[in-house]
Amino acid sequence: MTGCHGPLFTNSSLRSTILYVRQYHDLLRHILDNGTRHEDRTGTGTISTFGYQTRFDLREGFPIVTTKRVPFRWVAEELFWFLSGSTDEADLRARGVDIWQEWATEEQTARFGRREGDLGPVYGYLWRSFGGEYPRRNGVDQIARLISEIEANPNSRRLIVTGWNPETCDEVALPPCHTLFQFKIENGRTLHCQLYQRSADAFLGVPFNISSYALLTHMIAHVCDLEVGEFIHTFGDLHIYSNHLEQVNELLGREPYPLPTLSIVNAENKKGLAGLLDFVFEDLRLDNYVHHGKIAAPVAV
């Protein structure tokens, strides 16, 4: 649903909308005001900063950008693909999502001796088979370990999943950008999540990343009988690509809409690891997502 008549604020939605939109828009302005120009791996060039943090209270609404369209189904299907352990781009395309195809071409995968579509040891493998010899399914299932630890020891300070393996990060066309996330359970009932992201494309990538980890926090809270708390997003290299500057300025000129709400429906019996891995898009309901139109921008490969 695309808005065209200015912000639709109500008293109940005003606070959450201001908190979220201010943070994402301020993040973009921070880069524009404080960043320095850098050359980068893709040859595109960036305006880059290092070290930044945002915080989103998931009880105040679901954090998804309203000043451009973010395809929520793509966010969810990509997350389900990660959780499945798959590293085959065809599996993601079968879900109707084509955002990884630039790194799955025959030209890209042949550099590492793999067939077209085989992305190598990326997120799914690292989350579900960390340290195992690719492509065999050995190693540590970090998602299973995370759920088990939440259930057995909710006070643990070891509720961590890492997506960075120095032994394999040079064996893929796109090493993991969102590299480590940690959960904390407050007072035995409230689940908080913090993500460390080593590299962040502020215009195209960050809106996806925010909504993806917010959704993951909702899903894990559901299967572990917890409530959602905060999502904290910590950045290393946070940048705007030089060929995204026009799009960023267009977005910053738009007025925001109130945040939607996320509900998990028809999934009362989805509990534990099996429940987490059984999620489908129809289990999710994003209500009142009003947004401006899409702003197209090229992907740096």
Please give the full DSSP string across the chain, using - where no structure is assigned: -B--SS----HHHHHHHHHHHHHHHHHHHHHHHH-EEE--TTSS-EEEEEEEEEEEEGGG-----SSS---HHHHHHHHHHHHHT--BHHHHHTTT--TTGGGSSHHHHHTTT--TTB--S-HHHHHHHBTSPTTSS-SB-HHHHHHHHHHH-TT-S--EEE---TTTTTSSSS--SEEEEEEEEETTTEEEEEEEEEEEETTTHHHHHHHHHHHHHHHHHHHTT-EEEEEEEEEEEEEEEGGGHHHHHHHHTSPP----EEEE-S-TT--HHHHHHT--GGGEEEE---B------PPP-
CB 152 within 8 A of CB 212: no
Separation of CA 29 from chain center:
21
Report the pLDDT averaged over residues 226-249.
Answer: 98
Mean pLDDT over 87-91 rounds to 97
The single-letter code of the amino acid at 235 is F
Does the pLDDT value for residue 193 go beyond 70?
Answer: yes
Bridge partners, residue 240, by sequence? 47
- Distance in angstroms (rounded) separating the CA atoms of residues 81 and 127: 11
Categorize the per-residue pLDDT at 109 as very low, low, confident or very high, splitting at 50, 70 and 90: very high
Could you tell me which residue, 258 or 289, shows the higher pLDDT?
A: 289
pLDDT of 231-242, one tens digit each?
999 999 999 999
What is d(CA 195, CA 200) in angstroms, rounded to the nearest whole number? 12
Per residue in 21-79, pLDDT (tens digit) is 689 999 999 999 999 999 988 899 999 999 999 999 999 999 999 999 999 999 999 99
11 pLDDT exceeds 60? no
Q: What is the pLDDT of residues 124-177, one digit of tens each?
A: 999 999 999 998 778 999 999 999 999 999 999 999 999 999 999 999 989 999
Which residues are registered as beta bridge partners of 47? 37, 240
- On the question of pLDDT at 267 being above 60, the answer is yes
Rounded to the nearest 10 degrees, the angle between the axes of helix 11-34 and helix 205-223 is: 130
Active-site residue (options: 4, 169, 177, 224): 177
Q: pLDDT band at residue 266, thresholds of 50, 70 and 90? A: confident
What residue segments make up the domains of the chain, in order of their start? 11-287
Mention every residue, 6+ apart, whose C-beta is less than 8 A from residue 11: none
pTM: 0.94
Mean pLDDT of the chain: 93
pLDDT at 13: 52
**Has residue 299 got a pLDDT over 60?**
yes
**Cα–Cα dist 154/147, whole Å:** 10
Are 152 and 282 in contact by the 8 Å Cβ rule? The answer is: no
Cβ-contact 133, 89 below 8 angstroms: no
Query: Does the pLDDT value for residue 7 go beyond 70?
Result: no
Classified by CATH at the fold level, domain 11-287 comes out as Thymidylate Synthase; Chain A (3.30.572)
Indicate if 177 belongs to the active site: yes
